[in-house]
Amino acid sequence: MESEGRKMILYFSCTGHTESAAARLQEVLRETTTQLEAGEPYSMEDIDWQVDDCRANKEQRDQLPLPSLKDHIDLSGVDTLYLGFPIWWGIPPKVIDTFLQTHVLSGTKICLFCSSGRSSINEAEEYLRTNYPDINWAKGIRYHRAMSDTELSNWANA
């Protein structure tokens, strides 16, 4: 009988909301949690969407190169990856593109979770499925604190 591969929770967070979601998911799933970090950390000024020329706005509009990663993430043996991020302008932050373009993900099921004040995960899922069609995407969720452990577990194990 084949042994089940490793599962990992990987998240990108600037303000702590997605980090909280990842921590809650870790409590429910009892899986390894790793933070995905940009090579150049984001300041609050970098992510101030009300400032038209802030770094994040420029990145999201493809006016800057993709941000680098602080570290390469070891995905050895990972067959299910729970990938979390905040929604920026309807889609994932561009650091997620960097991660997807610099890591081998064939054979890995990716389950998306996001944090957002108002946006659903639908546009982000569509963006990722369109731009990375060879990845095995599972249905994502928009995390909120009122989610029960059962809801999280059911989503994660679907």
Report field, pTM of the whole predicted structure over 0.75: yes
Give the pLDDT confidence of 23-32 residue by residue, as tens digits: 999 999 999 9
Residue 1 pLDDT: 35
| Contact present, 19 and 11 (Cβ < 8 Å) | yes
Residue 4 pLDDT: 67
Residue 49 pLDDT: 87
Question: Which residue numbers in the chain have pLDDT < 50?
Answer: 1-3
Residue 118 pLDDT: 84
**Alpha carbon distance 127, 88 (integer Å):** 12
Query: What is the number of other CB atoms lying within 10 angstroms of the CB of residue 49?
Result: 11
Q: What is the 3-state secondary structure (H, E, C) of 64-119?
A: CCCCCECCCCCCCCEEEEEEEEECECCECCHHHHHHHHHCCCCCCEEEEEEECCCC
Residue 121 pLDDT: 95
